[in-house]
Chain A
Amino acid sequence: MFDYAPAPESRSVVTIRDSYGLFIDGEFVDPTDGGARKTVNPATEEVLAEVAEAGPGDVDRAVAAARAAYQRVWGPMPGRDRAKYLFRIARALAERSRELAVLESLDNGKPIRESRDVDLPLASAHFFYYAGWADKLPYAGFGPDPRPLGVAGQVIPWNFPLLMLAWKIAPALAAGNTVVLKPAETTPLTALLFAEICQQADLPPGVVNIVTGAGATGQAVVGHPDVDKVAFTGSTDVGRQIARAVAGSRKKLTLELGGKAANIVFDDAPIDQAVEGIVNGIFFNQGHVCCAGSRLLVQESIAEPLLESLKRRMARLRVGDPLDKNTDVGAINSAAQLDRIRTLATAGTDEGAQAWSPPCDLPQQGFWFAPTLFTGVSQAHRIAREEIFGPVLSVLTFRTPDEAIAKANNTPYGLSAGIWSEKGSRILWAADRLRAGVVWANTFNKFDPTSPFGGYQESGYGREGGRHGLEAYLDV
């Protein structure tokens, strides 16, 4: 084993202002009835900026701006012209990707390797993909003249701040809607830089409005009577509240919620490849991934060698400075999330499962949790049922393929699943039976703008990405 020299990415590419207003009708404005909150770098607890907190009156202004832009500009605009604005945004995201990646890692705590190689390329590609749909909607299979819905109210989480923004805004704008988007309160900065990119692209004022704030701001967006469409990505509990809140309205609703994905390793799986996939499945983005492979189901006959190999690999994970290009696992996004992870990990031990973590020096400042796996986990344990949303893997075993499927499906969620096997017919057999919206065979956590993403059961409804993703933003 050799040591790595520090290889930090430079912060100089990004300028963070001391304070940010709300982005309404094409301009940054001060909140009229809200306050402000600080956003911190979770790796150091350093305050990065003060960000406005939108109150109900501010949300009302944003919705009014979106409505006016929908009626006067964006709705009547030919699809080919909407497309050109989206292409501009896609290009700007790619060209400013270093700046955005550094900002994302600073505000979120994710390793620069991931923000640079995953979040940014995918965000830009998402706009590029949907730009092409804007003038081809009659060919999308939703009838000869599918109409937009109007104003979309969108609330996104903190785990992939800019990428989730892209998943929400790109299809909405391509279909001809205007948007009011609320980023997560702990990760607003890339959305605010995106607002500058909208200005840079000369996007007509009011087409995109960004209102920062916490839960109350989100409720105001979702509950606003002049919003025609609600899209939410986040926890299943909040998803339930939103579904109740929009009941009886004419608002179209799509929800992308929690998960507790099974990652199934059969006895004929390529072990080294599977270990890489397991690590990617649960430690990618510190496990702050709704589709994380948080339940490892391994066939009993290979459990021992597989776990040995997995532990060896986990001991090589580099946890630390998110801006270091060699870092594999960054900081937990917030103190609140760290609390939740600790609570559930403690519950795992209390309920009789055995925790294991590699020796791992965690920084003194910031929010950190060492990569952890639990063995001796039963299906009834909280760590096998509840979404931890952190770098914690629960290991269960099975004997027969039928048992693997039964255990994998024993969850109220249904977002994703993984299958590791060299046998093609077994993969297809298992994929047919897994109740999950995305199934990765011999790979994990792969995303693409053309590939629909979304869950079964309590993981929500509707799909994002691909032709399917347009449906959420069309009156069909």
Chain B
Amino acid sequence: MSDSAAVAAAGPARVAVRKTYKLFIGGKFPRSESGRTYQVQDSNVALASRKDLRDAVVAARAAVKGWSGATAYNRGQILYRVAEMLEGRREQFVALGEPAGEVDAAIDRWVWYAGWSDKLPQVYGGVNPVAGPYFNLSTPEPTGVVGVVAPAEPSLLGLVSVVAPVIVSGNTAVVLASPTRPLAAVTLAEVLATSDLPGGVVNVLTGTITETAPWLASHLDVDALDLTGVPDPQLAVELEQAAAGNLKRVLRPAVTPVDWSADPGTRRMTTFLETKTVWHPKGT
């Protein structure tokens, strides 16, 4: 049977629905306000502008009150739900070119962080035995809005490893996805959008880091900055200098390549925590 005969027998080939990978801001998937897109990973992806970045910061700030005020139990439940949804989309990430082993590791990493929500205050806070009639308690609290420059490789495991530790404690995030491997980030955003995570807790911008990161670093309503994914050391220095304007907490890029499969430790969480110490007098 010739090809044309086969087509005739099966009917015309189905035309696929093509997808534009859009931004994720405030729980919605807008195009860039600039109207720009770029071609990467054989797909059409939104090219975020400074205005998109500012919108994302507004959304992240608006989400702080609800997310940081949620109970640790509730945050843990929601993050665990994200892991469930990730598991359900495992094959989709593999189809995007993510090695299956890394997808599995990313899901496991998310579960690991989910469980930290109600343990951090116990491990990282506590009672201080002051020399006086006071009940004195230190508790970790989220810093607020955290800007995250996600690493390009491994695109899903690296992304999960920088986003989950930021939000588990109650921070909200503006994430600059890898310019060269953005599809995993937008797909993760689709997972987050269907996981009961309140809109604005995670915002994802695709495009070029050199265009958006300086505005993120100098934004006065951003409280902290994770520079892990900044590829150019000189840019990392400039971003850290800009971050000093409102004394952002800064996590510098690692000096040696990160082993993303290793036990991540608690530093990615604790860097974005504040310790609040409250003194209560004892008396009758």
Q: B16 contacts the other chain (Cβ, under 8 Å)?
A: no
A143 to chain B, nearest CB (A): 8
Q: A315 contacts the other chain (Cβ, under 8 Å)?
A: no
Task: Report the Cα distance A441→B281, complex, angstroms.
Answer: 7
Contact of B280 among A412, A437, A442, A468 (CB under 8 A): A442
A362 to chain B, nearest CB (A): 33
**B143 CB contacts on chain A under 8 angstroms:** 456
Task: Flag if A244 contacts B276 (CB, 8 Å).
Answer: no
Task: Flag if B246 contacts A248 (CB, 8 Å).
Answer: no
A50 to chain B, nearest CB (A): 36
* Beta-carbon nearest neighbor of B233 in chain A: A248
B119-142 residues at the A interface, CB under 8 angstroms: 123-124, 126, 128-132, 134, 136, 138
**Quick one: given A431-B278, A439-B278, A441-B280, are A461 and B247 in contact (CB under 8 Å)?**
yes
A105-155 residues at the B interface, CB under 8 angstroms: 125, 141, 143
* Beta-carbon nearest neighbor of A252 in chain B: B252
B213-230 residues at the A interface, CB under 8 angstroms: 223
A197 to chain B, nearest CB (A): 22
Q: A295 contacts the other chain (Cβ, under 8 Å)?
A: no
Interface flags for B255-284 (1: CB within 8 Å of A; 0: not) read: 100000000010100000011111111000
**B277 CB contacts on chain A under 8 angstroms:** 437-439, 451-453
Task: Report the Cα distance A438→B252, complex, angstroms.
Answer: 27
A442 to chain B, nearest CB (A): 5
- The stretch of B38-46, B73-81, B151-159, B236-244 in contact with A is B236-244
**B131 CB contacts on chain A under 8 angstroms:** 125, 448, 450
Task: Flag if B128 contacts A457 (CB, 8 Å).
Answer: no
Task: Flag if A476 contacts B279 (CB, 8 Å).
Answer: no
Q: B245 contacts the other chain (Cβ, under 8 Å)?
A: yes
Task: Flag if A439 contacts B279 (CB, 8 Å).
Answer: yes
Q: B109 contacts the other chain (Cβ, under 8 Å)?
A: no
**A453 CB contacts on chain B under 8 angstroms:** 277
B252 to chain A, nearest CB (A): 8
**A236 CB contacts on chain B under 8 angstroms:** 247
Q: B181 contacts the other chain (Cβ, under 8 Å)?
A: no
**B243 CB contacts on chain A under 8 angstroms:** 243, 247
* Beta-carbon nearest neighbor of A253 in chain B: B250
Interface flags for B87-129 (1: CB within 8 Å of A; 0: not) read: 0000000000000000000000000000000000001101011
Q: A423 contacts the other chain (Cβ, under 8 Å)?
A: no
Contact of A436 among B236, B247, B267, B276 (CB under 8 A): B276
Q: B249 contacts the other chain (Cβ, under 8 Å)?
A: yes
B37-65 residues at the A interface, CB under 8 angstroms: none
**A125 CB contacts on chain B under 8 angstroms:** 131
Q: A390 contacts the other chain (Cβ, under 8 Å)?
A: no
Contact of A452 among B132, B138, B240, B250 (CB under 8 A): B138
* Beta-carbon nearest neighbor of B240 in chain A: A247
Task: Report the Cα distance A248→B129, complex, angstroms.
Answer: 38
A140-199 residues at the B interface, CB under 8 angstroms: 141, 143
Task: Report the Cα distance A163→B138, complex, angstroms.
Answer: 22
Interface flags for A228-255 (1: CB within 8 Å of B; 0: not) read: 0000000010011101100110100001
Task: Flag if B123 contacts A141 (CB, 8 Å).
Answer: yes
Q: Which of A241, A247, A442 has the most CB of B within 10 A?
A: A247
Q: A262 contacts the other chain (Cβ, under 8 Å)?
A: no
Task: Report the Cα distance A98→B233, complex, angstroms.
Answer: 52
| Total interface residues in chain A, CB < 8 Å | 44
Task: Report the Cα distance A451→B240, complex, angstroms.
Answer: 30
Task: Report the Cα distance A461→B223, complex, angstroms.
Answer: 11
Task: Flag if A441 contacts B128 (CB, 8 Å).
Answer: no
Task: Report the Cα distance A438→B237, complex, angstroms.
Answer: 31
**Quick one: given A437-B274, A468-B138, are A450 and B247 in contact (CB under 8 Å)?**
no
Q: Which of A241, A414, A431 has the most CB of B within 10 A?
A: A431
Q: A460 contacts the other chain (Cβ, under 8 Å)?
A: yes
Task: Report the Cα distance A431→B138, complex, angstroms.
Answer: 12
**B233 CB contacts on chain A under 8 angstroms:** 248
**Quick one: given A240-B244, A461-B249, are A248 and B237 in contact (CB under 8 Å)?**
yes
Interface flags for A243-278 (1: CB within 8 Å of B; 0: not) read: 110011010000101000000000000000000000
Task: Flag if A463 contacts B278 (CB, 8 Å).
Answer: no
Task: Flag if A443 contacts B281 (CB, 8 Å).
Answer: yes
Q: A401 contacts the other chain (Cβ, under 8 Å)?
A: no
Contact of B276 among A243, A439, A460 (CB under 8 A): A439
B80 to chain A, nearest CB (A): 25
**A442 CB contacts on chain B under 8 angstroms:** 280-281
**Quick one: given A250-B255, A460-B247, are A466 and B128 in contact (CB under 8 Å)?**
yes
B239 to chain A, nearest CB (A): 8
Q: A214 contacts the other chain (Cβ, under 8 Å)?
A: no
Interface flags for B151-169 (1: CB within 8 Å of A; 0: not) read: 0000000000000000000
Q: A446 contacts the other chain (Cβ, under 8 Å)?
A: yes
A262 to chain B, nearest CB (A): 14
Q: A454 contacts the other chain (Cβ, under 8 Å)?
A: yes
**Quick one: given A248-B240, A450-B128, A457-B223, are A468 and B275 in contact (CB under 8 Å)?**
yes
**A457 CB contacts on chain B under 8 angstroms:** 223, 246-247
Task: Flag if B274 contacts A456 (CB, 8 Å).
Answer: yes
Contact of A463 among B134, B241, B255, B275 (CB under 8 A): B275
- Contacts A241-B244, A437-B275 aside, 5 further interface pairs with beta carbons under 8 A come to A244-B244, A247-B241, A434-B276, A436-B276, A443-B134
Q: Which residues of A pack against B, CB within 8 Å? A: 125, 141, 143, 236, 239-241, 243-244, 247-248, 250, 255, 257, 412, 414, 427, 431, 434, 436-443, 446, 448, 450-454, 456-458, 460-461, 463, 466-468, 476
Top 8 nearest A-B pairs (CB, nearest first) are A248-B237, A243-B244, A247-B240, A448-B130, A450-B128, A247-B241, A439-B278, A244-B244
Q: Which residues of B pack against A, CB within 8 Å? A: 123-124, 126, 128-132, 134, 136, 138, 143, 223, 233, 236-237, 240-241, 243-247, 249-250, 252, 255, 265, 267, 274-281
Subset of 27 A-B contacts with CB under 8 Å: A141-B123, A239-B247, A240-B245, A243-B240, A243-B247, A247-B241, A247-B250, A248-B252, A412-B246, A414-B274, A438-B277, A440-B279, A441-B279, A441-B280, A441-B281, A446-B130, A446-B132, A448-B131, A450-B128, A450-B131, A451-B136, A452-B128, A452-B277, A453-B277, A456-B143, A457-B223, A458-B247
